[in-house]
Structure 1
Amino acid sequence: MESIEKSRKILENPLIMKNVLEDLGCFDIERLRKVSKSVRNCIEIVKPDPKIRKIALKIEDSNFIRMDICSKFQENLSIFYQKNLDGYSVNRASFNGPCDLSKIFLTDFTQILKNQRVPIELLDIQGGSNDQFMDLILKNCSPKFFGQFQVQNLILQRLSDYQVFQILKFIDSKFLETITIMDALKSFSLDDYSKLDQWKMAKQLVIEGFSITTPIQNLEIFNFSNLDIKVPNLSIEDVIHLKTKFSESQTVMKLKINFERFTNPENIENFLRRPYSQKSHNSIWFIRIPNSQKCLHLNYVISRSFIFSRFDVSSIPEDAFPNRLGYQI
């Protein structure tokens, strides 16, 4: 009993506690909080980094939220928030009385991350059929906290364009590298996204499982180095526009544009000339970019996509261009 008391007294020393916490992940820190009130107060003084690597949120509706956390030490924890007839539960703990599940979840979420010092590698947020509940959660978010939320890779699933826009505003733009948007619930427009610093500074954009409604020639996407998007309709004029913007950009290295319908494929050689390679499933062009040692590799996958890539001229076949000077954009 005496040795336990001595151990507890040691842990109440902030200098010792700081060294102890350096090697602990968020789950061990939470366990240590439960030793005593004095130890918990000491932890609050030290403000340890929880060292969280990944967070996945599944927000089904106003009755259910799931949060999965992975720490630096490969520890995993799932937290379930569920509304019931008498109140609500958090994992196995039940609480009686009326509740706003969104505020309860956000309080915990803020508490868990408030001392996080390094960017989270991945934040994955998945909505559900009740987008009004997601709107409520976003309304209850504290801009003071979320405006400094450091995330490297962001995955947003089953959300509206408004919700994606609002979530992006909460992310620290200095750390965001990849934006992935999947399976949007409604018609999805990117019209206002170029105004966001988060959009301007991210390096990669992936859009999967749905088509965007913003016209090709209105898209502000050429600050990204890698792009993968889908549109409902694509014309040869759109392809020429993308080819020109791709060549002018100093940033974009690869652009894949998937389409549901290519409106005038029979005119493609009138605009792009004869391809270097033509097969039943795809055609390939090499196009010299003026005033550079780079060229555009354009791959048309029949009835599916156009893929624009940038290569050094020295790395392509000698007979890639229609003439010795090279077909330029």
Structure 2
Amino acid sequence: MENLKNFNFAEFEKVLDLEIWRNEENPKNQLRLVFGFNEISERVMETIEKAFSNCSYFESIVIKAKIIDQLSLTKTFGPPKPETDQFEEGHRMEISNSNGDLLIYSFEDGFHYFSRFQKDLESEISSLEGDLEELSICENLECLNLIRNLPEHLKSLCLVPSDSNIPREIFENHIILERVLKNQQLFEIAILEKVSSGIRRSISIIKPDPKIKSILIYLSDPENIQFLISTQNGDRKSLNYKSTGSNTCIVKTHGPTYIKSINQNSRYRFFEDLKKMLRFQKSEIESLRLDFSNLNFFPSPMVFEIDDSETPIDYDLVEKSNLEFLDKFQNVLKKLRPLKIRELSLRCVQEGDLRTVLEFLEPGFLKKIDIEYFCDFRNEKVSRNGILTVPYPDRRSYPRTLELRNVSKMEQWMLAENLEIEKYRILTPIQNFNIAHFKKGKITVESMSSEDVVFLKNIFLANPSLEKFIVQINQCQIDVSLYHPDFLGNPVIASLKAQAWYFQYPESENYLHIKYNVFQSITFSKVHSSVVPAPNQ
């Protein structure tokens, strides 16, 4: 959309008045037109309003322009409407001659979007694809063949620019299409699939790698799924799936922004989209992040008064929602080849949840496991301006403890290199789960004894790839036996708050440095002999 010719009003009006947009065979709400303009005037906005009223084919009309007549914008749409559950604050109006469809104005990255919100649209296509059918009007009316997706009956239009003069059917040839797809990624493949049924069939045979780079799935509350996906070329898209009923939902896409109402359950729609995006993935995915914190469902911890009349929080609903989501997520992963995930990040999970995900990751690719709780102040009273806040109640759905005995035996775990577990206490005794192979790590254990410290010393001395591993201690049971010659012996460096030991790796100039912050944490790291102090220094 960068090289857009600035249209004059007559050309613009002529394009929007073309008969092809009124053809009965055209699917509804399936086309975006893109123009360049010096200024968006009142006449331009009136023409846009008329076009949406006359033709249900337009999903949006996008104009790249530096100037828009703000007075005319208010005159056409009325003053900005307040924010609702479905819409952000902004300009919107009902489209005449429609079934209650709305015309919504938004501005993003230098482009002005005039988009249709269709209330009763039943979608059978991926929500990701909904905004990808695009016709860039960049020179004149003859360049209408730049359209990326038109109905089958418009045989005269092509997929590529007019000067190439290549008809769409050529791209249904497997050899040609396979070469084209080598340089395409998720969003471009989604565009090509919608050009024709022939290309769609060929893509299902070729199975091109969408080259997904990162995935973030966030359950902000039991009715909302927020989804962010990016590809290796830097493109990204954000989608929000929000339930509006038992079998209806709204899918809001950012980049650019548009909203689609769908007569399907939000989770069904999400998992159908996810399956379609991941079905051909072959390359390594840099990160997968799953966040089950449901933070929007709970009141803010920073409350300053207790309201006894407040509706009790339904923790069972959150717990049920998370379990159902993981069950469906597992069903999706079962149907795919094992994913090559480099970094796995999980928020508000238990051991069974971690096993569910790890089971479907290809061993050897996972380098980092990151598990995190969220800070909710539930066991604290925080003073702000001299007023004590009310902590969260204890949440059965969100225990702060983890068991890792079984999951740490999995091959995916054993081949990972980095481990970070934040704001959880690990109940599994330190000698009963596997951490000896990690290069880096940070965890909190429920308790630790002098015997546990010696155990860790021995396993990390057997791991020459160790860089640094921190163990924080909730209930410290380390006693004076730690200083016995059969344990660690006397520290090389000692104070009331911290002590340090150094043990040489076999046949190496490196040493294992053990630093004990008394009653709080113990750190194991590899250092060179040049930094090791002399005894009693």
TM-score by length of 2: 0.54
Give the superposition deviation at 1:189.
Answer: 0.4
Partners of 2:285 and 2:478 lie apart in 1 by: 45
Determine which structure has more spread, i.e. the larger CA radius of gyration. 2
User: Could you tell me which amino acid in structure 2 is paired with residue 171 of structure 1?
Assistant: L
DSSP-derived class of the 1:155 partner: strand
- Which of 257, 260, 266 aligns to 2:474? It is 260
Partners of 2:337 and 2:193 lie apart in 1 by: 28
- The answer for the alignment partner of 1:4 in structure 2 is 158
- The answer for the alignment partner of 2:260 in structure 1 is 93
Give the superposition deviation at 1:26.
Answer: 1.0
- Which of 280, 286, 290 aligns to 2:502? It is 286
Tell which deviates more after alignment, 188-197 or 302-311: 302-311
Partners of 2:481 and 2:408 lie apart in 1 by: 32
User: Counterparts in 2 of 1:104-183, with a 5 A limit?
Assistant: 104-129=269-294, 130-140=318-328, 141-142=330-331, 144-146=334-336, 148-183=338-373
DSSP-derived class of the 2:335 partner: helix
**Are the counterparts in 2 of residues 50 and 116 from structure 1 also a CA contact under 8 Å?**
yes
**Are the counterparts in 2 of residues 259 and 304 from structure 1 also a CA contact under 8 Å?**
yes
- CA displacement, residues 107-150 of structure 1 (integer Å, 9 cap, x when unaligned): 21111011111110110111134232232233233353356122
Partners of 2:519 and 2:342 lie apart in 1 by: 34
**Are the counterparts in 2 of residues 62 and 102 from structure 1 also a CA contact under 8 Å?**
no
Structure with greater helix percent: 1
Closer, same or farther: CA 147–231 of 1 in aligned 2, 3 Å: farther
User: Could you tell me which amino acid in structure 2 is paired with residue 89 of structure 1?
Assistant: I
| Structure 2 unpaired stretches of 5+ | 1-144, 146-155, 160-165, 253-258, 295-317, 375-397
| Structure 1 unpaired stretches of 5+ | 324-329
User: Could you tell me which amino acid in structure 2 is paired with residue 238 of structure 1?
Assistant: D
Closer, same or farther: CA 147–19 of 1 in aligned 2, 3 Å: closer
Matched, 1:67 2:227: yes
**Are the counterparts in 2 of residues 153 and 178 from structure 1 also a CA contact under 8 Å?**
yes
RMSD: 2.7
Matched, 1:304 2:471: no
**Are the counterparts in 2 of residues 121 and 152 from structure 1 also a CA contact under 8 Å?**
yes
Partners of 1:276 and 1:155 lie apart in 2 by: 38
- The answer for the alignment partner of 2:430 in structure 1 is 216
Partners of 2:234 and 2:193 lie apart in 1 by: 20
- The answer for the alignment partner of 2:198 in structure 1 is 38
- Which of 102, 114, 128 aligns to 2:267? It is 102
Give the superposition deviation at 1:159.
Answer: 1.2
- CA displacement, residues 286-329 of structure 1 (integer Å, 9 cap, x when unaligned): 1234565542111223443211122344x344x53579xxxxxx
Give the superposition deviation at 1:77.
Answer: 0.3
Tell which deviates more after alignment, 45-54 or 80-89: 80-89
Tell which deviates more after alignment, 135-144 or 218-227: 135-144
Give the superposition deviation at 1:94.
Answer: 1.3
User: Could you tell me which amino acid in structure 1 is paired with residue 475 of structure 2?
Assistant: R
- CA displacement, residues 196-229 of structure 1 (integer Å, 9 cap, x when unaligned): 1111221221111211111122222212232211
DSSP-derived class of the 2:426 partner: coil
**Are the counterparts in 2 of residues 178 and 205 from structure 1 also a CA contact under 8 Å?**
yes
User: Could you tell me which amino acid in structure 1 is paired with residue 326 of structure 2?
Assistant: L
Tell which deviates more after alignment, 297-306 or 244-253: 244-253
Partners of 1:235 and 1:147 lie apart in 2 by: 43
Closer, same or farther: CA 16–292 of 1 in aligned 2, 3 Å: same
Identity %: 28
Closer, same or farther: CA 3–194 of 1 in aligned 2, 3 Å: closer
Higher relative contact order (CA 8 A, sep 6+): 1
Aligned length: 319
DSSP-derived class of the 2:402 partner: coil
Closer, same or farther: CA 260–248 of 1 in aligned 2, 3 Å: same
- The answer for the alignment partner of 1:28 in structure 2 is 188
Partners of 2:404 and 2:457 lie apart in 1 by: 20
- The answer for the alignment partner of 1:237 in structure 2 is 451
TM-score by length of 1: 0.86
- The answer for the alignment partner of 2:75 in structure 1 is none
Partners of 1:64 and 1:87 lie apart in 2 by: 12
User: Could you tell me which amino acid in structure 1 is paired with residue 405 of structure 2?
Assistant: D
Tell which deviates more after alignment, 73-82 or 34-43: 34-43
Tell which deviates more after alignment, 36-45 or 112-121: 36-45
User: Could you tell me which amino acid in structure 2 is paired with residue 197 of structure 1?
Assistant: E
**Are the counterparts in 1 of residues 468 and 524 from structure 2 also a CA contact under 8 Å?**
yes
**Are the counterparts in 1 of residues 440 and 466 from structure 2 also a CA contact under 8 Å?**
yes
DSSP-derived class of the 1:65 partner: strand
**Are the counterparts in 2 of residues 286 and 320 from structure 1 also a CA contact under 8 Å?**
no
Partners of 1:102 and 1:61 lie apart in 2 by: 12
Tell which deviates more after alignment, 272-281 or 230-239: 272-281
Partners of 1:248 and 1:47 lie apart in 2 by: 44
Tell which deviates more after alignment, 168-177 or 217-226: 217-226
User: Could you tell me which amino acid in structure 2 is paired with residue 12 of structure 1?
Assistant: E
User: Could you tell me which amino acid in structure 2 is paired with residue 132 of structure 1?
Assistant: K
Partners of 2:452 and 2:408 lie apart in 1 by: 19
Partners of 1:53 and 1:175 lie apart in 2 by: 14
